[in-house]
């Protein structure tokens, strides 16, 4: 299960609400098989199904290649439902026709679930092993259900993510360590060099754009690892957390790449970063706040040594 899919498990009462959404949808379309899905990159998680049909091979928790799913044809940008009432009579459906025939899917209604920032969350779908008629009134009712579900998703998202950058927040980092107390990993504590001057000279609006771009670059680094995430602690302080055992050489190479990435700007302002790195073992029993304090000690040393560099905490304490 990928990072975003695991995040859903942290949402309060998520399973109960998903059940309610599908129950409401079932009252509107009682003869349809219904499911909620979440998408991330090229994957689709079918996390809840209602009114299962024995001849349609779909199960709770199934992860699909999005490119081999009808949901890939949903217009998330315009938030327009995909309505296919008679799939056998349709033309080419991105090469999916044969697979749909084998799966006994004869009709499909896909409702896009799109967050306010434009990010596609997933779909509420109805499928059937028979040709179906999806009345406009029923589609409108399902769209209302999707909007209510979105209100809930946004509230949960704001609880765990930073509003400006979309990165995880300190609360999420603490929750992660509470839920996974015994694992090896590394914390990269980053503080931007020269950011105050950006705000003073170019204004806070430009400063916000810089923070958003830094977040985007850090998210790319986190995306290279299956168990990593980027966090904004506040201001111009960020954390990259890697929840796997790594050798010092690996972290040195990564830190060098991060320093290079965050020191290249096409604009007039000059921004770089300093990094404090803490490696910890599976025997670690310290709270995340203590680990952050130790990483911050290393960060301070990096700042003191000239900035735009990194230091390891253990190297400072040996």
pLDDT of 316 reads 53
43-71 confidence digits (pLDDT tens): 999 989 999 999 999 999 899 999 899 99
Q: Cα(93)–Cα(73) distance, rounded to whole angstroms?
A: 8
On the question of pLDDT at 253 being above 80, the answer is: yes
Q: Cα(187)–Cα(314) distance, rounded to whole angstroms?
A: 12
Task: State yes or no: is 19 an active-site residue.
Answer: no
**Contact (CB, 8 A) for 189 and 292:** yes
The neighbour count for residue 28, using CB atoms within 10 Å, is: 18
pLDDT of 29 reads 97
Q: Cα(185)–Cα(241) distance, rounded to whole angstroms?
A: 7
On the question of pLDDT at 74 being above 90, the answer is: yes
On the question of pLDDT at 33 being above 80, the answer is: yes
**Contact (CB, 8 A) for 49 and 60:** yes
On the question of pLDDT at 4 being above 70, the answer is: no
Helix (H, G, I), strand (E, B) or coil at 274: strand
Return the structure tokens found at 130: 């028979």
pTM: 0.73
DSSP 66: G
Strand-by-strand arrangement of the 120-128 sheet? 62-65, 43-50, 33-40, 120-128, 107-114, 82-84
Q: How confident is the model at residue 220 (pLDDT cuts 50, 70, 90)?
A: very high
On the question of pLDDT at 318 being above 50, the answer is: no
The dihedrals phi and psi of 188, each to the nearest 5 degrees, come to: -105, 115
**Candidates 2.130.10.10, 3.30.450.40, 3.40.50.2300, 3.40.50.920; correct CATH number of 3-157?**
3.30.450.40
- Give me the residue spans of the domains in the chain: 3-157, 170-317
Domain 170-317 = CATH 3.30.70.270 = yes
- C-alpha torsion 235→241→246→249, nearest 10: -20
On the question of pLDDT at 315 being above 70, the answer is: no
DSSP 116: T
On the question of pLDDT at 317 being above 60, the answer is: no
108-132 confidence digits (pLDDT tens): 999 999 988 888 999 999 999 999 9
At which residue do the structure tokens 């765990």 appear?
A: 160
The dihedrals phi and psi of 263, each to the nearest 5 degrees, come to: -110, 0
pLDDT of 266 reads 83
Residues 6+ apart with CB under 8 A from 204: none
Q: Of residues 162, 193, 236, 296, which has the active-site annotation? A: 236
Provide DSSP, 86-132: -GGGS---TT-HHHHHHTT--EEEEEEEE-TTS-EEEEEEEEESS--
Q: How long, in residues, is the chain?
A: 318
Residues 6+ apart with CB under 8 A from 250: none
């Amino acid at each position: 299960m990928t990072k975003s899919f695991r995040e859903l498990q942290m949402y309060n009462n998520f399973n109960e609400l998903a059940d309610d959404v599908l129950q409401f949808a079932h009252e509107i379309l009682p003869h349809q098989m219904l499911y909620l899905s979440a998408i991330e990159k090229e994957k689709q998680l079918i996390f809840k199904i209602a009114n299962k049909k024995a001849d349609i091979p779909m199960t709770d928790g199934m992860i699909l290649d999005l490119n081999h799913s009808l949901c890939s044809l949903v217009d998330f940008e315009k938030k327009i439902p995909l309505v296919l009432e008679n799939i056998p009579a349709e033309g080419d459906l991105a090469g999916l026709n044969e697979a749909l025939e084998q799966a006994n899917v004869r009709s499909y209604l896909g409702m896009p679930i799109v967050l306010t920032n434009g990010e596609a969350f997933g779909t509420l779908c109805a499928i059937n092993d028979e040709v179906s008629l999806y009345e406009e009134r029923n589609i409108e009712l399902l769209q209302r259900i999707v909007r209510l579900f979105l209100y809930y998703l946004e509230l949960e998202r704001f609880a765990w993510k930073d509003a400006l950058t979309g990165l995880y927040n300190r609360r999420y980092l603490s929750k992660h360590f509470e839920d996974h107390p015994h694992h090896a990993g590394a914390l990269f504590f980053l503080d931007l060099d020269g950011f105050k001057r950006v705000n003073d000279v170019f204004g806070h609006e430009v400063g916000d754009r810089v923070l958003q771009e830094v977040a985007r670059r850090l998210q790319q680094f986190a995306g290279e690892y299956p168990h990593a995430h980027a966090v904004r602690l506040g201001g111009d302080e960020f954390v990259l957390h890697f929840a796997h055992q790594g050798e010092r050489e690996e972290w040195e190479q990564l830190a060098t790449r991060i320093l290079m990435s965050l020191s290249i700007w096409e604009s007039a302002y000059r921004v770089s970063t300093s990094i404090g790195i803490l490696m910890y073992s599976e025997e670690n029993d310290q709270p995340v706040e203590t680990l952050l304090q130790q990483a911050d000690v290393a960060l301070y040393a990096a700042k003191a040594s000239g900035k735009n560099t990194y230091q390891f905490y253990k190297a400072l304490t040996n």
